[in-house]
């Protein structure tokens, strides 16, 4: 009789390698590994051999880079979704696309369970499991770090466990930063970052770029075009969204753009400190915002700001596959119809400086904005507007004065 199968979210690192024999031993499952490629680059090298040595029956490497860029990153860019005013959601946006791929593989393999390696202290356990509940409520979830039968509490313990099960791979016990990388960003946690009083060691820490101090002494001009809120070209070269982000990562990293040191509030209730490198994402969001300033009316921008904040929290909390997030994406998409035009800016030592924006749908009128009186605007019209706009303030002040006089008499 064939064994039941579990799909393991697999990175090839020590944690998920140790999980393979543990799942076989504790649950008696055949383990199907699934590595979801969100743009983590060379981290995927050698996974086939590593999974086979570790005892997996099969390995899937699912390329979701374009799906991630177009259907998860861009809705957040268009919404201006930024968690706690700083975090550009690099990890949070990737978890739903990874979950979707895991569920697809589980369905294909007829698996009864999906296993993830997220710890019981972090946000990712919530993001993975809410996604699985929404997409595949019939599939069991296994979280080893919350399982009483998982007795490995250190890297050395995991290495020893692997060796005891015939897995002798070149894992190191050296302590390093805990990192998460994808097309959009790379995050860093651990070591000196665990103490908020300590300055990050950027010379040792940075992966995607350099610090502003080490960036070139000359700035670089970049021109981008957008159509209906979607980036289309960089410096005149047409590219798909994923390639645009990759190119912006290169440009932003070179000029020290998008390095952010954050103490954030995790969903589980604790504060955590990390450094995020999001060079291309920082540029893309700023360029998109620069164009929106020109084409969106005030009321739409105000509401969009509220929606962006709410969407950021929703995505951060793992609620991508929910009606409210679907509705927020639909609203945002409706605002992008006329977000078309060209944006120019200069990158220089961590800064993105505007260098000109144009759009056929621009609401900016030079004749209206200038100090010269034109046909559409007469300075005298402002008097009546101010009278009506300030009427509530005047009425309240008169009432308060009346009450004060009554009190004094």
Q: How many CA atoms lie within 13 A of 18 on its CB side?
A: 22
User: What distance in Å separates the CA atoms of residue 276 and residue 392, rounded to the nearest whole number?
Assistant: 46
Scanning the structure block, which residue is given the tokens 């177009």? 70
Closest CA to 191 of 261, 273, 256: 273
Q: 41 in the Ramachandran plot: left (φ > 0), alpha (ψ -120 to 50) or beta? A: left
Q: Give per-residue pLDDT as tens, 335-383.
A: 999 999 999 999 999 999 999 999 999 999 876 766 665 667 788 889 9
Alpha-helical regions (H) of 224-266: 241-254
Asked: is 5-164 a CATH 3.40.50.620 domain? The reply is yes
Q: Which fold has domain 180-296+339-358?
A: 3.90.1260
Closest CA to 93 of 127, 66, 122, 116: 127
The DSSP output letter for 39 is: S
Residues 6+ apart with CB under 8 A from 359: 291, 294, 295, 338, 339, 340, 341, 342
**Positions marked active-site:** 15, 95, 124, 178
User: What distance in Å separates the CA atoms of residue 33 and residue 56, rounded to the nearest whole number?
Assistant: 6
Q: Any idea which of 228-232, 276-280, 402-406 has the lowest mean pLDDT?
A: 402-406
Q: Give per-residue pLDDT as tens, 184-197.
A: 999 999 999 999 99
Residues 6+ apart with CB under 8 A from 288: 77, 78, 80, 226, 229, 231, 339
**What pLDDT does 365 receive?**
84
Q: Give per-residue pLDDT as tens, 166-177.
A: 999 888 877 689
User: What distance in Å separates the CA atoms of residue 377 and residue 321, rounded to the nearest whole number?
Assistant: 48
What's the token pair of residue 353? 């400086």
The DSSP output letter for 87 is: B
Q: Give per-residue pLDDT as tens, 205-219.
A: 999 999 999 999 999
User: What distance in Å separates the CA atoms of residue 183 and residue 179, rounded to the nearest whole number?
Assistant: 13
Provide the residue ranges of all domains of the chain, joining segments of one domain with +.
5-164, 180-296+339-358
User: What distance in Å separates the CA atoms of residue 162 and residue 160, rounded to the nearest whole number?
Assistant: 5
């Amino acid at each position: 009789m064939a064994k039941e199968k579990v799909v393991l979210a697999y990175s090839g690192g020590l944690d998920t390698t140790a999980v393979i024999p543990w799942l076989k031993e504790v649950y008696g499952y055949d383990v199907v590994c699934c590595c979801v490629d969100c743009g983590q680059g060379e981290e995927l090298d050698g996974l086939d051999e590593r999974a086979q040595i570790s005892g997996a029956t099969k390995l899937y490497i699912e390329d979701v880079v374009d799906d991630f860029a177009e259907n998860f990153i861009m809705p957040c860019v268009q919404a201006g979704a930024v968690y706690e005013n700083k975090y550009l959601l690099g990890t949070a946006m990737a978890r739903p696309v990874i979950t979707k791929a895991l569920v697809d593989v589980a369905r294909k393999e007829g698996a009864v369970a999906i296993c993830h390696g997220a710890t019981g202290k972090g946000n990712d356990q919530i993001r993975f499991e809410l996604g699985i509940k929404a997409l595949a409520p019939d599939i069991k979830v296994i979280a080893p770090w919350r399982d009483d039968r998982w007795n490995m509490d250190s890297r050395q313990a995991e290495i020893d466990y692997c060796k005891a099960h015939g897995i002798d791979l070149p894992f190191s016990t050296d302590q390093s930063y805990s990192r998460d990388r994808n097309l959009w960003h790379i995050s860093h946690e651990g070591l000196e970052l665990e103490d908020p009083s300590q300055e990050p060691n950027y010379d040792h820490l940075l992966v995607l770029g350099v610090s502003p101090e080490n960036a070139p002494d000359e700035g670089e001009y970049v021109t981008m075009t957008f159509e209906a809120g979607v980036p289309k070209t960089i410096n005149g070269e047409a590219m798909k969204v994923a390639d645009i982000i990759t190119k912006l990562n290169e440009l932003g990293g070179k000029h020290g753009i998008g390095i952010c040191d954050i103490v954030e509030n995790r969903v589980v209730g604790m504060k955590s400190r990390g450094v995020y490198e999001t060079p291309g994402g920082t540029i893309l969001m700023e360029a998109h915002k620069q164009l929106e300033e020109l084409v969106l009316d005030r009321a739409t921008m105000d509401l969009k700001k509220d929606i962006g904040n709410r969407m950021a929290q929703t995505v951060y909390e793992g609620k991508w596959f929910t009606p409210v997030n679907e509705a927020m994406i639909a609203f945002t998409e409706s605002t992008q119809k006329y977000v078309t035009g060209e944006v120019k800016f200069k990158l220089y030592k961590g800064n993105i400086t505007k260098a000109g924006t144009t759009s056929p749908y621009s609401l900016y009128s030079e004749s209206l904005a200038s100090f010269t009186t034109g046909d559409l605007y007469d300075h005298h019209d402002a008097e009546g507007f101010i009278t009506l706009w300030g009427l509530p303030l005047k009425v309240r002040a008169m009432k308060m004065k009346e009450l004060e006089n009554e009190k004094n008499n």
